[in-house]
Amino acid sequence: MENKLAINSPYQMDFSALVKVEAPATVANMVCGFDVLGFAVNEPFDKMQIRFKETPGITIINDDEYNLPTDPEKNVAGAALLAMMEELPSNIGFELTIQKQIKPGSGVGSSAASSAGAVAAANRLLHNYFSKEDLVRFAMNGEKLASGVKHADNIAPCIYGGVTLIRSIFPLDIVALTAPPLFVTIVHPQIEVKTSDARSILQQKVLLKDAIRQWGNIAGLVAGLLQADYALIGRSLEDVLIEPVRSILIPGFDQVKQQSKEAGALGGGISGSGPSIFMLSETHATAKKVEELMQQIYDGLGLDHHTYVTTINHSGVRFVDSLITEQTPS
């Protein structure tokens, strides 16, 4: 591949530079938009920092309890950085420290936060040499490592912030959507569902009548978001293809969904490939009510769980404390 930085970049590696980022959790699919819709939330998020190192290659340091691989080829952040480095001079080296706060296998974009956070942070070191679309392209290699397939419905919102529509991944076509204020309640029952497993149980063929219903809902949801029509958003949060199959992996799913709607939530469903469940509400008070009932349901089932009441994150990966000396291109 063309060595773009070597040919074009006027910048030098600055070994004193350090970039710290917070990479947000994301809710993929948004119920009806399997692999094509997703949004970022303000909580939880992973913390990461990156610097250049004098030796070429990638060093990964884990500063958390998850014992994830430090071999870059086996680590999703490493896989994303390796893809980026194919388009950089071969003498570049990065040292990446990861403090994960999003539990792997939770369904709120843990692997995407690592992959997207790593390449967004590295790009800041490189004075934003690459575009956001490039970063999505690199970070999808992390998703491929985690789930066996490239998908961008966690990566794109993590990098762009807000709600994103991924109209296509080959070639990449990402549309950032506006959305009215929404409160998000998430419950993460403490079981692990691997995305690769949750994908392998899906049917490869769908009935035309189900497809019609699904694309009506996707179009309705996008229109509802753009027009700030809460009732339309609520009506469109329906998934006739994926949820009926996957929800059997999540204890308490039907109860959470039904009772959340009775409590006034607009609607919701499985977050990504689960096991987390999310619900959208128009007010903070409703989102808190939904949190309480989620806690009651999982307490009743005797299943450990974490809950979050948060809002849509509109900035994507957040830069904190970047120690970068701005260089004048030479």
Please give the residue ranges that form the binding site for ligand HSE (CB under 6 A): 28-29, 34-35, 151, 153-154, 195, 198-199, 272-273
Catalytic residue among 26, 185, 195, 286: 195
Residue nearest to ligand HSE (CB): 272
Give which of 266, 222, 239 is closest to 37, Cα–Cα.
222
296 contacts: CB under 8 Å, gap ≥ 6: none
DSSP designation for 9: -
195 catalytic? Reply is: yes
Cβ proximity to ligand HSE: between 35 and 64 the closer is 35
Cβ proximity to ligand HSE: between 195 and 236 the closer is 195
Cβ proximity to ligand HSE: between 50 and 198 the closer is 198
DSSP H or E stretch at residue 183: strand 183-189
Cβ proximity to ligand HSE: between 17 and 157 the closer is 157
Min dist CB 154 to ligand HSE, Å, is 5
Min dist CB 75 to ligand HSE, Å, is 18
143 catalytic? Reply is: yes
Min dist CB 226 to ligand HSE, Å, is 22
Angstrom distance (rounded) from CA 122 to CA 128: 9
8 contacts: CB under 8 Å, gap ≥ 6: none
72 Rama sector, left if φ>0, alpha if ψ -120 to 50, beta otherwise: alpha
How crowded is residue 203: how many other Cβ atoms within 10 Å of its Cβ? 11
Min dist CB 34 to ligand HSE, Å, is 6
How crowded is residue 86: how many other Cβ atoms within 10 Å of its Cβ? 13
Catalytic positions are 143, 195
